[in-house]
Structure 1
Amino acid sequence: MTTRRRFIHQVSALTLGGLALPQFINAEGLLPTATYPIGIQLFTLFGAMNEDPKETLRKVAAAGYKEVESAFSLRPGQNYYGYSAKEFKALVEDLGMKWRAHHAMGAPFRPRPAATPPAGGPPAGAGQQPARPAMDFSKMPPMLSLRDNYQQLVDQAAEGGLSYLVCASTPVATMDEIKKSIEVFQKTGEACKKAGIGFAYHNHATEFDAVEGSTKTPYELILSQTDKDLVKMELDLAWAVKAGKDPVALFKEQPGRFPLWHIKDIKDDRKTITEVGNGIVNFKQAFAAAKTAGLTYFFVEQDMAADPIASITTSYNNLKKILA
């Protein structure tokens, strides 16, 4: 299965280089039944956004989405699909949507050798979903990272009027990587606060894996060793479920620290990402704990969907029913 983390890992190794909720939540933390905006993470439409961002955003708006979280881009030029922050904001708003957050890399991943299948065994990747066609990264511009370009990324986010800058992914396979990531998060969180925006970290399932040399997971270390007022979480519900975690329990452990969510679903094999409402994630239960989490915006996402527009349309319609 091609996941965001694997995809970003591959790209960065080569380069080496929504909904505003507080006013709508009642005393029990439940969402209203009235109509309200639903957000989209544009990584779901990665290929289409790099081919024709304006037309793709038009289709996103037509599907009903009103909130946008952007991802990194392969388009040459400026950081937002070839647009400056101000230009991209204008493009989104001209289509009746709001640009709320942007994903940036924490640090480039080091190149690691591909896994070698055992003698006589199946080839690597056997039994997984078919891979999408390979993309040509030979002319890809250098990818900005929070480690190397945090002030530039913060300044651009502020220029675009964003509410949050989010670390999409960062190496956390070793204690040294975790330590360095925590330093980057603290530094970025401080810069974001000065700029009047929030900072958050987006998890995958990996953050809940044990790391050699520690009794705690990367998730636990990141939350315990960063300032809760400077470093928030964007909880990806599907990756948390894949890791065997209950999102509501996570909210209760760190109340108010989850202003952003990724609304993603996963099938009962805990491997296959699918449209919202077509998997096992209990969205009703999660949204019932929105006040405990401190939820401000949420974004639908489906990593590398085969038919992105059809997938986001299905997810939007299913989510409206779930929250009705």
Structure 2
Amino acid sequence: MRRMGIALQLYTLREPLAEDFKGTVRRVAEIGYEGVEFAGYGGLSAEEMKRLLEETGLRAVGSHVSLKALRDNLQGEIAYAKTIGAGTIACPWLPVEQYQTEEAWTSLFKELESIGAECRKHGIVFCYHNHAFEFEQRVGGQFVFDALYGSTSPDSVQVEMDVCWVHRAGQDPLAYIARYAGRLPLVHFKDYAPTEDGTFYTKELGRGIVPLADVLKASSDAGAEWLVVEQDNCRDNPPIVSVANSFNWLREHYLAKL
């Protein structure tokens, strides 16, 4: 299996980060993660963040940036990403209530193409990160997920696939990974378990129902560059313990087998 980098989406640690941003990032490096994907910068300037990354040896894999911020301050977001050496900017979420018609989705696809083209001019890869709702609505007879990538160019919009949400939407993450091979630099590597009331919650790696071993192979075959560990909510253990446990799962089931 081809070697992919292992990063952490820092949204997982939003609570300890709010208390001690720099100390928490240092702990991520001590656990063994090679990179981080940001979901906010804790009030640090780009130069301060660059120094923290240099100190810890962590790579800035990318940043989740809201659609509002992309609209209001795209150049500022690009400049920050370039300063810290982040390779990607990803749109992580949409105000779904604004996208209930095919016309609204079509307009958004054009906007994402434009944002991605501007990022590309500055050497930044622009991605879209999915949830489940992209498989609950259709545009032109296709799931929104597929319509989005069919309406945008790979040069401008790449795939950051969250395999947990694909699975939760009732789709096969292995088939979707293969479908977007070559356009999939980042895979959100995440597990979950259903609950008795029909809801679900994310789990530490290996403690849910996502076929993670198969996802590893499929991601490698598809050319993914980074596995980005994420746990939306850590119910079983404190967040820092959960991300350590997930890294240990990857050490045993991935790194030890390379």
Q: 2:131 aligns with which of 204, 209, 220?
A: 204
Distance 1:261 1:303 in 2: 15
Distance, in Å, in 1 between the alignment partners of 2:175 and 2:86 is 29
Superposed, 1:218-237 pairs within 5 Å as: 218-237=144-163
Alignment of 1:162-173 (within 5 A): 162-172=86-96, 173=99
| Structure 1 equivalent of residue 242 of structure 2 | 311
> Mind listing any 5+ residue stretches in structure 1 that lack a counterpart?
1-29, 73-79, 108-144
Q: Are positions 1:238 and 2:164 aligned together?
A: yes
User: Cα gap change, 1:184/1:51 in structure 2, threshold over 3 Å: closer, same or farther?
Assistant: farther
CA distance in 2: counterparts of 1:49 and 1:294, whole angstroms: 31
Distance 2:223 2:232 in 1: 25
- Which residue in 2 is equivalent to 1:263? 189
Provide the secondary structure at the position in 2 that maps to 1:46. Answer: helix
| Cα separation, 2, equivalents of 1:260 and 1:224 | 19
Q: How far did 1:268 drift?
A: 4.5
Residue identity in the other structure for 1:169:
W
Q: Which has the higher contact order (CA 8 A, sep 6+)?
A: 1
Alpha-carbon distance between aligned partners in 1 of 2:33 and 2:44, rounded to the nearest angstrom: 21
2:71 to 147, 150, 165: 147
Corresponding residue for 2:25?
57
Higher helix share: 2
Aligned residues of 1:147 and 1:184 also touching (Cα < 8 A): no
Output the CA distance in 1 between the equivalents of 2:147 and 2:229: 27
Cα distance, 1:185 vs structure 2? 1.3
Q: Which has the higher strand share?
A: 2
1:31 — aligned with what? 2
Q: 1:295-319: CA deviations, max 9, x gaps?
A: 0112111013241111101111112
User: What TM-score comes out, normalization by structure 2 length?
Assistant: 0.89
Shift in Å at residue 292 of structure 1? 4.1
Alpha-carbon distance between aligned partners in 2 of 1:251 and 1:313, rounded to the nearest angstrom: 26
TM-score, with normalisation over the residues of structure 1? 0.71
151-160 or 96-105, larger mean C-alpha shift: 151-160
Tell me which amino acid in the other structure corresponds to 1:31: R
- Report the Cα distance in structure 2 between the residues aligned to 1:148 and 1:292, rounded to whole angstroms: 37
What is the CA-CA distance between 1:226 and the residue it aligns to? 0.5
User: How far, CA to CA, are the matches of 1:171 and 1:183 in structure 2?
Assistant: 17
Would the aligned equivalents of 1:264 and 1:276 in 2 still touch at CA under 8 Å? yes
RMSD: 1.9
Q: 1:156 corresponds to which residue?
A: 80
Q: What letter matches 1:180 in structure 2?
A: S
Question: For 2:227 and 2:179, how far apart are their aligned partners in 1?
Answer: 20
C-alpha contact (below 8 Å) 2:119/2:125 kept by paired residues: yes
Aligned to 2:14: 46
In structure 1, distance between residues paired with 2:2 and 2:252 = 13
Structure 2, gaps ≥5 residues long: none
* Contact residue 6 and residue 33 of structure 2 kept, 8 A: yes
Label 1:291 to 1:56 Cα distance change in 2 as closer, same or farther (>3 A). Answer: closer
Aligned-pair CA distance for 1:251? 2.4
Q: C-alpha deviations, 1:28-79, integer Å up to 9, x for none?
A: xx235xxx7521000001121122101111221222212111002xxxxxxx
Q: Which residue of 2 aligns with 1:253?
A: 179
